[in-house]
């Protein structure tokens, strides 16, 4: 049967209407619209989350972008990136399809996660999350108004973790590469306190007021940047963990004034208990990474009377026993003249680096000793700017000497080995040369 043009047109119109209606219905059913909309200036500032691992209360700290999470009465610092992701997915939670009613197989009677959101405007939102929909990328959800809908499973994925998933994964809350002061305690007793005077100068102000070794402290802090959290203890007995009275404590302050106290407890296999912040911020660090052996006053002491770049040196002299050496260094020629001989630059440098290694190895406790009689050795350094430094060594014991620095008696001592190494180096360079003068 032949259809005339008018009927063809009518059928075409009906098909278009039906298609449009179907498209509208389908589009309405699967359209992506947000579950709720935050008003201008409104933000989520609290989250209560319940899942199979327990109940977690997230709170945004006042006047800060930082969040803490509390469970079982203990607060923990949150993982900043994880919190940012949670806030993002909850603030933009899509409604993929609105459903007529709840069914048993949606899993909403015993939800995988239940969340209550609070905002700074005093509004409250509640959502339950059940099983995955027929599309594994969606999940059944229900609002506080009992509306049932499908949303992205990526939303619920962020809400089904354990406490470890939400805790801070960074060991340090300070800028470890820009530490300005460092205090170390052992068994609750202060051992050493150091501060940075300039980018390349560290000083002690406890137990002594003295220069500290810059390279050693800088290297230790650099190694600490490699610390990683090996895990989080499921249950914590502070006594068993050695944290009720910490075995060691490190207090760090960075250049922005941020302060962090780290307590270290007992070793548990390959790991060691550590508290990195609040009472509940207890983590497991790799035990082999934690080494504070250099944090002792004797080790870090850096009394160095001759610490001077070679480019500023015009000469040096050494007297020991019945011998003396007097070296004049010509910066332009890079040549040293000593007594009646000549040293090339390489030979002078070999002596110079032994000479400037005459640094203190420790400090006697108590009062400054009175140094009597004549020194066993005297060393002097002359600089191109006309200044000089002088070190005189007096007997302390068979293993070392007290140091008189620029005419001032000090309690600092130096190991005898340093002087003997310098004398050996001078003898080595003087061999075959007429460059010693008997006293």
Number of domains making up the chain: 3
Q: Are residues 354 and 236 in the same domain?
A: no
Give the pTM.
Answer: 0.68
pLDDT tier at 24 (50, 70, 90 boundaries)? very low
**What per-residue confidence (pLDDT) applies to 209?**
86
Range scoring the smallest mean pLDDT among 2-6, 74-78, 162-166: 2-6
pLDDT tens-digit map of 276-326: 987 778 999 999 999 999 999 989 999 999 989 999 999 999 999 888 999
Choose one of 300, 330, 363: the last residue of a domain.
Answer: 300
- Domain interval for residue 396: 310-438
Question: 294 with 319, same domain?
Answer: no
- In a domain, residue 171? The reply is no
23 inside domain: no
Task: Tell me: do 107 and 149 sit in the same domain.
Answer: yes
Does one domain contain both 426 and 343? Answer: yes
Residues 358 and 433 in one domain: yes
Quote the pLDDT of residue 315.
96
Same domain, 93 and 66: yes
Both tokens of residue 414? Answer: 């130096």
* Residue 30 confidence (pLDDT) above 50: no
SS3 220: helix
What are 202-210's contacts with CB under 8 Å, separation 24+?
A: 202/300, 202/302, 204/297, 204/300, 204/301, 207/297, 208/297, 208/301, 208/363, 210/301, 210/302, 210/303, 210/363, 210/412
Q: What is the pLDDT of residues 175-204, one digit of tens each?
A: 999 999 999 999 999 999 999 988 889 999
Say yes or no: 39 and 147 in one domain.
yes
| Residue 151 and residue 38 share a domain | yes
| Residue 40: inside a domain | yes
Residues 67-105: tens digit of each pLDDT: 999 998 888 889 889 999 999 999 999 999 999 889 989
**pLDDT at 433 (0 to 100):** 61
3 state SS for 221-275: HHHHCCCCEEECCCCCCHHHHCCCCCCEEEEEEECCCCEEEEEEEEEECCEEEEE
Residue 19 inside a domain? The answer is no
Q: Does the pLDDT of residue 50 top 70, yes or no?
A: yes
Per-residue model confidence (pLDDT) at position 268: 87
């Amino acid at each position: 049967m032949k259809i005339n043009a008018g009927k063809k047109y009518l059928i075409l119109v009906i098909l278009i209407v039906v298609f449009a209606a179907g498209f509208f219905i389908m589009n309405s059913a699967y359209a992506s619209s947000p579950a709720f909309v935050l008003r201008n200036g409104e933000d989520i500032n609290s989250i209560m989350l319940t899942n199979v691992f327990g109940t977690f209360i997230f709170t945004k700290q006042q006047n800060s972008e930082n969040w803490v999470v509390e469970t079982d009465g203990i607060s923990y610092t949150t993982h900043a990136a994880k919190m940012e992701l949670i806030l993002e997915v909850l603030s933009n939670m899509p409604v993929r399809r609105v459903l007529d009613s709840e069914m048993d197989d949606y899993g909403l009677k015993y939800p995988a996660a239940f969340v209550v959101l609070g905002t700074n405007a005093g509004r409250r939102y509640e959502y339950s999350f059940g099983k995955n929909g027929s599309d594994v990328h969606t999940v059944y959800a229900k609002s506080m108004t009992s509306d049932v809908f499908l949303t992205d499973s990526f939303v619920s994925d962020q809400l089904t973790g354990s406490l470890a998933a939400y805790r801070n994964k960074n060991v340090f809350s300070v800028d470890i590469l820009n530490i300005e002061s460092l205090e170390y305690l052992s068994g609750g007793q202060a051992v050493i306190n150091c501060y940075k005077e300039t980018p390349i100068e560290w000083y002690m102000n406890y137990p002594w007021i003295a220069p500290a070794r810059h390279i050693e402290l800088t290297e230790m802090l650099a190694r600490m940047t490699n610390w990683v959290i090996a895990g989080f203890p499921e249950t914590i007995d502070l006594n068993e963990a050695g944290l009720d009275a910490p075995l060691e404590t490190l207090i760090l302050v960075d250049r922005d004034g941020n302060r962090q106290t780290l307590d270290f407890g007992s070793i548990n296999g390959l790991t060691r208990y550590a508290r990195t912040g609040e009472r509940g911020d207890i983590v497991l660090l790799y035990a082999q990474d934690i080494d504070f052996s250099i944090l002792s006053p004797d080790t870090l002491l850096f009394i160095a009377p001759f610490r001077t770049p070679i480019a500023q040196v015009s000469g040096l002299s050494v007297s020991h026993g019945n011998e003396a050496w007097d070296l004049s260094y010509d910066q332009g020629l890079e040549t040293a003249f000593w007594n009646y001989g000549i040293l090339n630059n390489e030979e002078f440098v070999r002596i110079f680096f032994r000479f400037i290694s005459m640094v203190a190895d420790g400090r006697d406790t108590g009062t400054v000793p009175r140094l009597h009689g004549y020194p066993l050795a005297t060393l002097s350094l002359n600089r191109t700017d006309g200044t000089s430094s002088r070190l005189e060594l007096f007997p302390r014991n068979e293993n070392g000497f007290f140091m008189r620095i620029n005419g001032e008696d000090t309690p600092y001592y130096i190991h005898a080995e340093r002087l003997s190494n310098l004398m050996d180096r001078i003898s080595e360079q003087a061999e075959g040369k007429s460059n010693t003068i008997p006293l």
